[in-house]
Structure 1
């Protein structure tokens, strides 16, 4: 990471993201992108929930297609529901996933994954901007560089390549922070 990006580790938003990754029942927190039809990318968060018996169950926050467009949903294993939900809705999702005895723990873990997603989404745009400044140089970055070629009519492959590189560096930074400050793996959490 560049110095400007490293300095951001002490920002309040980044510290809140790190704190969200430290949930004791979540391991292997991973962030990713799901692409929409319009070219926009949506941030997703996934993790493994470690049951009381030590079994690892996939859990996360993702975007799915629906009749009204892209909608957020939370999932536990194969069971899923629209996000955000009150705790009562998360309890029902845990029941559908077959985790009746742990419904309270699962509901709080789903809430934690949603919190990780929310905090990561808040940090993502700033980190993306920092990576663009590192790639282009401090003075060259402006909002015009962040616009897509469809908006301004300029088809600049170099600009799109640097924006994609900054996009991936941002995702890598978020995943590195989740790895360093979250539970490392389901095997280590037992």
Structure 2
């Protein structure tokens, strides 16, 4: 992309991915057809065990969508207070690491919010590039239905821009986060 993208938001996203207790950071969408981002990673315990950790969007039985943080099999609403993270650490069996777990969950949430900022900017750049390549109609923006343009082709281009954006975020996360493979430190 352009040098304009390597600004404060991207640097903060990269810094959040570099958290010492997180490995294998990945950004994805919460479900098929969803526009909500989710972040998953692996938390490295003091004993070296790796546990899944993340921030995701789930649908309740009533059909409502809400944010959720998780560590291992324990989960809690996407709260922003340390006391909620301490409870989650206790439910995951990491009482003695509750402070480290809280910092790791805060880092996951930071990755989530910074990924949103970077995603929005990257999608805007991709769509501006597509706009230069395609002739967009003002009547479509004004609500015109029959302007002779192929709407499905536009949706495909927008979907392609979203896929490229997600791929860029995951490439950055892969480059700058620790890895849990056999060659990791």
One fold, TM greater than 0.5? yes
Match of 1:21 among 17, 22, 26: 17
Aligned-partner SS, 2:178: coil
Match of 1:32 among 16, 28, 31: 28
Match of 1:182 in 2: 177
1:85 aligns with 2:80: yes
Match of 1:41 in 2: 35
Check whether the contact 2:5–2:121 (CA below 8 A) recurs between aligned residues.
no
Provide the TM-score with structure 1 as the length reference: 0.83
Match of 1:64 in 2: 58
Structure 1 position 100, deviation (Å) = 1.4
Distance, in Å, in 2 between the alignment partners of 1:134 and 1:64 is 33
Distance, in Å, in 2 between the alignment partners of 1:75 and 1:132 is 33
Consecutive unaligned residues in structure 1, runs of 5 or more: none
Name the Cα RMSD after superposition: 2.6
- Please give the per-residue CA displacement for 1:74-94, whole angstroms capped at 9, x wherever unaligned: 000110000123111101101
1:51 aligns with 2:40: no
Consecutive unaligned residues in structure 2, runs of 5 or more: none
Distance, in Å, in 2 between the alignment partners of 1:165 and 1:133 is 13
Distance, in Å, in 1 between the alignment partners of 2:55 and 2:123 is 21
Which segments of structure 1 move beyond 6 Å, counting only runs of 4 or more?
Answer: 141-145
Structure 1 position 134, deviation (Å) = 2.9
- Aligned residue pairs, count: 180
Structure 1 position 43, deviation (Å) = 0.3
Structure 1 position 30, deviation (Å) = 0.2
The 1:189–1:89 alpha-carbon spacing in structure 2 relative to 1, beyond 3 Å, is farther
Distance, in Å, in 2 between the alignment partners of 1:109 and 1:129 is 30
Larger radius of gyration: 2
Provide the TM-score with structure 2 as the length reference: 0.85
